[in-house]
Structure 1
Amino acid sequence: MIRDATRKFRERPHYTLDELDEISERAAAEYLTNKHGKAQYPISTDDLASLIEVHAEDLDLYADLSRLGPDIDGVTIFNPKGKPSIRIAAALSEARRENRLRTTLAHELGHTLIHNILFKRCTGPGLFDDEEVQTDRVQACREGSMLNAGQSDWMEWQAGYVSGAILMPATQVRLIITRRFPNYIRGNIAACGDLYEAMVEEVRSAFQVSSEAARVRLQKLQLVRDAGLTPSLF
């Protein structure tokens, strides 16, 4: 635990990237193995929703989140006495925006897995004064920050990383890259150009995600080069 510069909490969790990958992959693999006998990817959208229902109090896939803003795709409502509740914007399910829906489900699962404990232990002023849903325990997640939030927004950054790790487990991504590009994984190098795009397409196809999500995941695993993205330990 380290001091929370945002002052939402007295302290907040600091995770290494390896720790976030381990938490994410274990949660998905254990669920898939228990349900199907083995963990296979891509994880289906139905399995993502069912996995959330294991860790959350309830899941609403057709929520009206318009009062929170036009770009809110998902909300996690933390519960100091139990599991959180998850709300997904109805438009994602109704319009069959499959990749965006999958990313949002995995993102809210990230909040559920690693952040609810904070609200259970928090006794800060203004938190949980009554039984009503309060603003300070509602985490509203915008489309633009779902994959790669700024590093100052540590809750969104961590949930975004977990989202990628749930959908595209690090061990599975590296296995695919090693098999598909056997001459690439030799030493500490990063792909660019045509090789970069070929790797993005391989991950996109293997894990049923958008090209943007595949690109961000490969960048965060430092398998490709992008001068605009700096890995962080948030």
Structure 2
Amino acid sequence: MISLDFRTKKNGVPILSRREIEDIAEQVIHSYKPKLVNSPGVLDVELFIENYAELEMDYQDLTHDGSILGMTVFNDCRIPVYDAENEKAVRMTVNEGTVLIDNSLLESDQLRRGRFTLAHEAAHWLLHRQMYLENKNQISLFEALEMEEKKLPVIKCRTSDIESKGKKELVTDDEWMEWQADYMASVLLMPRKAFSSLVKEKFKSAKIDKNFYRLGTDFETDLWAEAMAYEMADFFEVSVTAAKIRLKNLGFIKDQQDRQQYSLI
């Protein structure tokens, strides 16, 4: 696994723009499977997590209501999970470098969201583990195992953190880190160059001269844009939500009220 270099705040939280995340994710993909950078294809995210990021995966009922989809564990500790059989919370010992995914994402209609969640957790490990390494040697194993939940060396990702759509006001460090992991997950699964080449082919086939389409311009083309999002989702094995967000983030599809281009192409 390559060593990543980027700016951070004094507390270790990365300072990253979209462009910088695009570049970092591209470096990662190039070091893992170079072909995926330029040629459209599907990232086997489980193999990526195990063989490249060297993380363990475990599926659990993380909460009683499915509100937490994934966790990344940075130091050995005991994590509260839900014991569905006895309908109560219990603590389980988890090793450093473990990604926990909620069992709900194993349902057949949630597999693509599960892929995105795995990529999101891998992004946390790649971008944010340095924050926890600094405190690792200052805490005894016993203290780590019995640590209060709010101090656990864990990032918990809720349903609102994964495939986040809509514009959020990012204020806290946690909000910034969730945005960073979510954006990097989208790039890992849909690398810019590979994704863009496929979209441009579709634009050419639809005889759209510009490198973007503004929703609301034409009813039939709006339907085409909707169908294209489904096609992109199927090709990269992501959710339609994730594909739509990627199309907008790269400036290919614009909302009617969005008058400012911010394409990364």
The TM-score, its normalising length taken from structure 2, stands at 0.68
Conservation of the 8 A alpha-carbon contact between 1:77 and 1:138: yes
Aligned-partner Cα distance in 1 for 2:12–2:128: 12
Question: Structure 1 residues 78 and 203 mapped into 2: Cα distance closer, same or farther (>3 Å)?
Answer: same
Question: Structure 1 residues 225 and 154 mapped into 2: Cα distance closer, same or farther (>3 Å)?
Answer: same
Q: Does 1:201 align with 2:230?
A: yes
Conservation of the 8 A alpha-carbon contact between 2:42 and 2:235: no
Conservation of the 8 A alpha-carbon contact between 1:77 and 1:139: yes
Unaligned runs of 5+ in 1: 4-8
Choose the corresponding residue for 2:118, options 97, 105, 116: 105
Aligned-partner Cα distance in 2 for 1:93–1:59: 13
Choose the corresponding residue for 2:163, options 137, 147, 155: 147
Choose the corresponding residue for 1:118, options 116, 124, 131: 131
The structural deviation recorded for 1:185 is 6.0
Of the two, which has the highest radius of gyration? 2
Question: Structure 1 residues 156 and 128 mapped into 2: Cα distance closer, same or farther (>3 Å)?
Answer: farther
Unaligned runs of 5+ in 2: 1-6, 77-94, 217-221
Q: Which amino acid aligns with 2:63?
A: S
Alignment of 1:51-130 (within 5 A): 51-53=48-50, 54-60=52-58, 62-66=59-63, 70-79=66-75, 84-95=97-108, 97-121=110-134, 129-130=139-140
The structural deviation recorded for 1:200 is 1.6
What's the counterpart of residue 186 of structure 1? 210
Aligned-partner Cα distance in 1 for 2:120–2:66: 18
SS of corresponding position for 1:214: helix
Aligned length: 212
Q: Which amino acid aligns with 1:43?
A: V
What's the counterpart of residue 49 of structure 1? 46
Larger mean CA deviation between 98-107 and 198-207 belongs to 198-207
Residues 145-193 of structure 1: CA distance to partner in whole angstroms, max 9, x if unpaired? 2112732300100000011111111111211111110254636x54314
Q: Does 1:167 align with 2:163?
A: no
Q: Which amino acid aligns with 1:164?
A: S
The TM-score, its normalising length taken from structure 1, stands at 0.76
The structural deviation recorded for 1:142 is 1.3
Query: In percent, how many aligned pairs have the same letter?
Result: 28
